[in-house]
Structure 1
């Protein structure tokens, strides 16, 4: 069998969730959209089912997959519903939904429902993707309350630059949100992973009933480019690994792989690893991107191809055919690989495919 695989540590996932609760002092929806950022939504939900306050997904298809797997409790649709007809499924499966547009409010007002809905009403405080304009929030809130079809409303927004620890934009967004919501009696949800980890000073006295939405931090990756104290407590959940399947001796001056992106400056011992961009490893990772080979630091050399990549074994004489190579995990953080490849750990995880996932700590 091809040795490429992703090891998923579910106990690390639980510990990261507990850290989100500890740091925020609030109820937490575990964000498991996009197949739990490539970690497997059903297995991650099952691992957290005993302690998570609820889950958040992107859309109803992701929610129904969880319900079919027997996951009970709150599941929030972060993108809301896309057609009015989905309200029947939302009601039937007791889902929570975000409302972010005027047409969604109108659809709820017109809907025939047997039970009231649990809604999260989103205000655009500065992200400028979706959400009611701040000036529209009060009217939308009152219309939903007057419709007789709503059990509760959580007021929410989303930070655009909370991962930039020296940026004033988060404070500005918070002020915009508070101004828009002044006088409305409802719980709120503002904090994503970077806000939970990096902006505790904005939420020194959280209101009872507040919700947070940890996403990337659940999977043990930092959302920040620089070191950050709370993020250092995260435990990587995924270890992407494979093995060396071939060894080559390359003389000085000889090119390696597609495009001759690496030319040996000295006699170089090359290990070929069964891992490529078809597995989700970033094609644009350059020479020098860190790897871990049989417990020792190593480096990628040459261009990543579809099914294979190459590493430098010149200074690792004990490594060879069958040696274990960690592409990211506890020894090579996904954020390090992402930085070398000019991307973010979110994309690394979500791009994972073809590689079997093996779970521990269930």
Structure 2
């Protein structure tokens, strides 16, 4: 990258998306779930990484899972010929023709969607692949077990090809195996005797509950190199690689005396003479405004680099770091806000959120480069 995070723009901030990391993480999913097919989950613009990068990098997946038909249109228009799963099914009955034209698989999670599909079949349309979703305890989307078998038989009578699906509420709580096992038991008891493949595991179940994978797994956050729990230490054993690296530069340096305060509200007060680096990244770029003092930022320091702590409140366009451990850092020095050197989960933890939110929240004004 040289001395500049991006020499083609005026403001030196860049989100770089690394295709080899994407491919590596998908390969790790295959190693962890070798008997399962994979839905690569790319909702929310591929968790903020953009559809183009996901399509270029994850083309060896068995299918892409996303939220709405317009995203499915994008995939088809850009050459994807494999399977597409609409994770919340259809939002309106009039989308059925488009979903059929796009050859989408549909999640079915409520009675209204079953009604739509029955009427569609009555008009003589050929069947669609359906993932019938059971609410086994998440209490979000899905049919209660008492209604599930009736729903199955209604769709089966209408000649739909049915898969069985559920979602675990606590798979990201590593020590809550009984909770996952309880949902799995309800699921297995309910589908007993009913034909069809199964889809159970999200990233957390793939990582920690491999007795609950099913025929199709649905990895999301692990494909992007972040942790379902929000704690980076929890995924070190999985050897995942960060896909997004958010870089910027130091655009100014301030010399503070003991007692000087920094930024809005003067949250941080210098206890001695210190150098403060001003970095071109703020909450308008998607960096968390509530990042605490001590949040790590990697700063290039001569021929090396060092992690420096944020000091003072993050503002709209800049944040400030303590450079006492980076004596060779200067204006133009490259910094990494998150990526290989600073896991996004560590930044999220210092901001009372999760890595998912930070990755999805990178602002449109931040340029993206696919590498």
Secondary structure (helix, strand or coil) at the match of 1:85 reads helix
Q: Aligned equivalents of 2:267 and 2:258: distance in 1?
A: 14
Instruction: Confirm or deny: 8 A CA contact 1:222 1:231 kept in the other structure.
Output: no
TM-score by length of structure 1 reads 0.94
Secondary structure (helix, strand or coil) at the match of 1:160 reads coil
Shift of 1:198: 1.0
What residue is the counterpart of 1:315 in the other structure?
325
Secondary structure (helix, strand or coil) at the match of 2:143 reads coil
Instruction: Confirm or deny: 8 A CA contact 1:198 1:228 kept in the other structure.
Output: no
**1:54-73, aligned counterparts within 5 Å?**
54-73=63-82
**1:9-88, aligned counterparts within 5 Å?**
9-25=18-34, 26-49=36-59, 51-88=60-97
**1:202-281, aligned counterparts within 5 Å?**
202-203=211-212, 210-224=215-229, 225=231, 227-228=233-234, 231-281=237-287
Shift of 1:267: 1.1
Does the alignment pair 1:339 with 2:349?
yes
Quick one: which of 115, 134, 153 aligns to 1:142?
A: 153
Q: Aligned equivalents of 2:96 and 2:109: distance in 1?
A: 15
Q: Aligned equivalents of 1:128 and 1:231: distance in 2?
A: 31
Q: Aligned equivalents of 2:77 and 2:293: distance in 1?
A: 44
Shift of 1:229: 5.9
Gap regions ≥5 residues in structure 2: 1-9
Gap regions ≥5 residues in structure 1: none
Instruction: Confirm or deny: 8 A CA contact 2:282 2:317 kept in the other structure.
Output: yes
Q: Aligned equivalents of 1:113 and 1:327: distance in 2?
A: 55
Q: Aligned equivalents of 2:171 and 2:180: distance in 1?
A: 6
Does the alignment pair 1:197 with 2:207?
yes
Shift of 1:172: 1.1
Displaced runs of 4 or more, over 2 A:
112-115, 224-232
Query: CA 1:284 to 1:102, structure 2 compared with 1: closer, same or farther past 3 Å?
Result: same
Secondary structure (helix, strand or coil) at the match of 2:200 reads strand
Secondary structure (helix, strand or coil) at the match of 2:228 reads coil
The CA RMSD over aligned residues, in Å, is 1.3
Instruction: Confirm or deny: 8 A CA contact 1:198 1:230 kept in the other structure.
Output: no
Q: Aligned equivalents of 1:290 and 1:341: distance in 2?
A: 11
Q: Aligned equivalents of 2:336 and 2:22: distance in 1?
A: 19
What residue is the counterpart of 1:355 in the other structure?
366
Secondary structure (helix, strand or coil) at the match of 1:61 reads helix
Shift of 1:327: 0.5
Instruction: Confirm or deny: 8 A CA contact 1:32 1:45 kept in the other structure.
Output: no
Does the alignment pair 1:285 with 2:291?
yes
Q: Aligned equivalents of 1:43 and 1:157: distance in 2?
A: 28
Shift of 1:43: 2.4
1:103-124 deviation per Cα after TM superposition (whole angstroms, max 9, x unaligned): 1111100113533201100000
Shift of 1:243: 0.1
Q: Aligned equivalents of 1:314 and 1:85: distance in 2?
A: 61
Shift of 1:251: 0.8
Shift of 1:291: 0.8
Q: Aligned equivalents of 2:222 and 2:251: distance in 1?
A: 33
What residue is the counterpart of 1:305 in the other structure?
315
Shift of 1:226: 6.6
Shift of 1:32: 0.4
Q: Aligned equivalents of 2:39 and 2:208: distance in 1?
A: 18
